[in-house]
Chain A
Amino acid sequence: AQKITQTQPGMFVQEKEAVTLDCTYDTSDQSYGLFWYKQPSSGEMIFLIYQGSYDEQNATEGRYSLNFQKARKSANLVISASQLGDSAMYFCAMPRLRGSARQLTFGSGTQLTVLP
């Protein structure tokens, strides 16, 4: 069975500083991947970044980067130069094979608040 754990229910960061959101996972799959999604107060789910276990380098997408440590089973999201618009709920998710598709298993989320 797969499990995604986000241990930080809430985080605060000062504008322009970097912040790391934690995500640990448990899976028996040999090949797997990790997603991060952002959910602002308006409610939509926005894809941020993805990394597969077979990728050798940590993924980056603009100000977002993934600190992927397979030995520790962690895939932390790093947001550099935080902006007020980064205030949102952040979810870590892992695709899990279900029948003929891949279901996303989500963590419980981290509420990030960026302070001016």
Chain B
Amino acid sequence: NAGVTQTPKFRILKIGQSMTLQCTQDMNHNYMYWYRQDPGMGLKLIYYSVGAGITDKGEVPNGYNVSRSTTEDFPLRLELAAPSQTSVYFCASSLGGTSGRRAKNIQYFGAGTRLSVL
């Protein structure tokens, strides 16, 4: 069972460079999320998607863009990398949505991408 797969695992960028973090899931989940985790902190939501073609901003969206052309894929794009974007990035997916039911609420995470901007 692959679950949520993120690539690359590690990346070093120079200031001003661009890159795309890839995320794919094989659980047929409608909902997908991008979080960032700064050292010693919990995760903060960057963007999320409730289905193909539908995305929305989270807590910390500035400097990022997303797209969702298929159910499986949810790439995160950094256009002009800045040192403040040095972080570990996690992609997650869930069945969805606003229901309080346990099964729909559980978010399954990828292994993360460790990004340094120098």
Chain A interface (Cβ within 8 Å of chain B)? 4, 31-33, 35, 37, 42-47, 50, 52, 54, 91, 93, 95, 97-109
Residue of B45, B58, B94 with most partner-chain A CB within 10 A: B45
Q: Is the CB of B59 within 8 A of A44?
A: no
Q: Is the CB of B42 within 8 A of A107?
A: yes
Q: Is the CB of B105 within 8 A of A106?
A: no
In Å, the complex CA distance between A100 and B50 comes to 7
Q: Is the CB of B41 within 8 A of A98?
A: no
Q: Is the CB of A103 within 8 A of B48?
A: yes
What's the interface size class on B, roughly?
A: 20 to 34
Partner of B88, one of A4, A43, A47, A97: A43
In Å, the complex CA distance between A42 and B111 comes to 8
The A interface, classified by DSSP as helix, strand, loop or mixed, is strand
Shortest distance in angstroms between B37's beta carbon and chain A's nearest beta carbon? 8
Which chain B positions have C-beta within 8 A of A107?
Answer: 42
Residue of B33, B108, B109 with most partner-chain A CB within 10 A: B109
Which chain B positions have C-beta within 8 A of A52?
Answer: 100-102
In Å, the complex CA distance between A45 and B109 comes to 6
- B77-118: which have CB < 8 Å to A? 88, 90, 92, 94, 96-98, 100-102, 105-112, 114
Q: Is the CB of A50 within 8 A of B45?
A: no
Chain B residue nearest to A31 in the complex (CB): B100
Q: Is the CB of B42 within 8 A of A33?
A: no
In Å, the complex CA distance between A76 and B31 comes to 28
